[in-house]
Amino acid sequence: KPIHIINGPNLNLLGTREPEVYGADTLDDIKELCVEVAAALDREIVFVQSNIEGELVNFIQAAGRDGAGIVINPAAYTHTSIALHDALKAVDVPSIEIHLSQPAKRESFRRRSYVAEAVHGTISGFGADSYVLGLQALSNLLDTND
Ligand code: DQA
């Protein structure tokens, strides 16, 4: 079963969105990177993005049905969404939260993550490498649980 990589709001604008914070890679660049890393790990991925909270809930539910696990960058919904928290708790597959930036050292409203309490662990602050590290961590976790 594939690993589902789920991306939240405004991540479709990566490349031009505050590049000093989020880097120069576009979401397509990051997707290609993830495809390569997944192939090296002998895994398949499903890579999706939405700006809409309910659609992200649907993506999480779909990953619970058809996926092996979830790597999620919930973007701003990290800091607001009980619906994403509940969805991640509702599915029976492991999930890892990732961020390009390090929210803990930014504005105080980014310090709270509602998602953190529903995931296995969090990787943040490594730019596009956070996706690579998240994929590797989840793949290891799945190997351990096999
Ligand atoms: C982000 C961090 C969030 O605080 C922010 O709202 C984002 C991106 C990151 O990847 O660094 O949109 O999740």
Q: Give tens-digit pLDDT for 7-30.
A: 999 999 999 998 998 989 999 999
What Rg do the C-alpha atoms of the chain give, in angstroms?
Answer: 14
Q: Are 20 and 100 in contact (CB under 8 A)?
A: no
Position 111 confidence tier, pLDDT thresholds 50, 70, 90: very high
Q: Are 48 and 5 in contact (CB under 8 A)?
A: yes
- Active-site residue, 120 included: no
Residue nearest to atom 13 of ligand 1 (CA): 75
- Active-site residue, 85 included: no
Q: Are 115 and 85 in contact (CB under 8 A)?
A: yes
Number of residues written out for the chain: 146
- From the CA of 21, give the closest atom in ligand 1: 11
List the CATH number of the domain containing 84.
3.40.50.9100
Question: Looking at residues 50-58, what average pLDDT do you find?
Answer: 98
Look at the chain and report how many structural domains it folds into.
Answer: 1
Task: Kindly report the average pLDDT of the chain as a whole number.
Answer: 97
- Cα(2)–Cα(34) distance, integer angstroms: 12
**Centroid of ligand 1 to alpha carbon of 43 (angstroms):** 26
Question: Looking at residues 64-84, what average pLDDT do you find?
Answer: 98
The residue segments making up the domain with residue 71 are 3-145
Please report the ipTM that was assigned to this predicted complex. 0.99
